[in-house]
Structure 1
Amino acid sequence: RRAAAPAGGLRDRLAAAPAEDRRRLVEELVAGQVAEVLGYASTATVGPDRSFTELGFDSLTAVDLRNRLTTRTGLSLPATLVFDHPTPAALTGHLLAQLGPGPAAPTLLDELDRLEAAFAATPPETLAELAADEEIRSTVAARLRALLTRWDGDGGVTATLDDASDDELFDFIDSRFGRS
């Protein structure tokens, strides 16, 4: 008997897997557990569209499968699981829907929301202390300007005048307005 894989491991694998591989991963889990519960030597006998009763399930083996899948998925599954979803394919679809596609990667707007929330959660006196430290203030301002520059896509044109050399200023003026 194999040791149970932690439920987080399956969720992590599903989250990291391309969408087209997620169903296969859950199908393999279901087929493997069905074969173990019924004492089959391999999963080859477990066809995705064969009914659980045709495969040999009764109420005891149904509960055993439910318990194993609960352990491996971390989901709260009913004792009637194999009767509610009567084939391995139907059960796979149900588990996949319950497990979801996995956490989505944070979007740029999500990250901006997180940054705004961090600023909002920082007490005003702490912000004032940080802003009073010239090194911190200039570092934060430079990084925010660099992000804005990347967003604007102007190759650094929004940098402050203090950061530009005379040659850079004249090159900018020439490129934007032409030579006179």
Structure 2
Amino acid sequence: MSTSIADTIDEVITECAGAPVPVDAVFFEAGLTSSVIVAVHERLQSALGTRFPVGVFFDHPTRQALAEHLTRATAAGQVGPAAVVPEGEWTARSRRDLRTQLRRRKG
């Protein structure tokens, strides 16, 4: 399952970023913007069929760290099934969460 999650993360990030991101590169240092992270978050939740907070990208800021975390969290049942939420509504919520995380990081 680990390889599947890692492969999915790689595919989604490459699609959203428009280019591959090295496995050990920190997302923001690799040029991913907050809007790209929100898109990756939404697509990963859909692709994996789970829900997890956007803050996971700050706590696990590389592809490798994110894959390891999501693999462990999935196995432990710490991520839940994806809820059906209207796309525009979820995007607004995701962006608010991301802005909050960015403000905390800067502050």
What TM-score, normalized to structure 2?
0.64
SS at match of 1:55: coil
Q: Which residue in the other structure is 2:57 paired with? A: 82
Q: Which residue in the other structure is 1:23 paired with? A: 2
Quote the RMSD (CA, aligned, Å).
1.9
**1:36 pairs with 2:15:** yes
1:91 deviation in Å? 0.4
Structure 1 Cα separation of the partners of residues 53 and 32 of structure 2: 16
The answer to whether the Cα contact below 8 Å between 1:49 and 1:89 also exists between their aligned partners in 2 is yes
Structure 2 Cα separation of the partners of residues 34 and 81 of structure 1: 14
Structure 2 Cα separation of the partners of residues 33 and 26 of structure 1: 11
Moved over 6 A (4+): none
The structure whose residues are more often helix, as a share, is 1
Structure 1 Cα separation of the partners of residues 51 and 5 of structure 2: 16
1:57 deviation in Å? 1.4
Larger Rg computed on CA atoms: 1
The answer to whether the Cα contact below 8 Å between 1:49 and 1:87 also exists between their aligned partners in 2 is yes
SS at match of 2:51: coil
Q: Which residue in the other structure is 2:72 paired with? A: 97
Q: Which amino acid aligns with 2:45?
A: T
What TM-score, normalized to structure 1?
0.39
Q: Which amino acid aligns with 1:61?
A: V
SS at match of 1:54: coil
Moved more, 24-33 or 92-101: 92-101
Could you list the per-position Cα deviations for residues 64-97 of structure 1 after superposition, in whole angstroms to 9, with x for gaps in the alignment?
1110111111221112231121000010011101
Which structure 1 residue ranges, 5 or more long, are not aligned? 1-21, 103-180
1:31 deviation in Å? 0.7
Which structure 2 residue ranges, 5 or more long, are not aligned? 78-107
Of all paired residues, the percent bearing the same amino acid is: 30
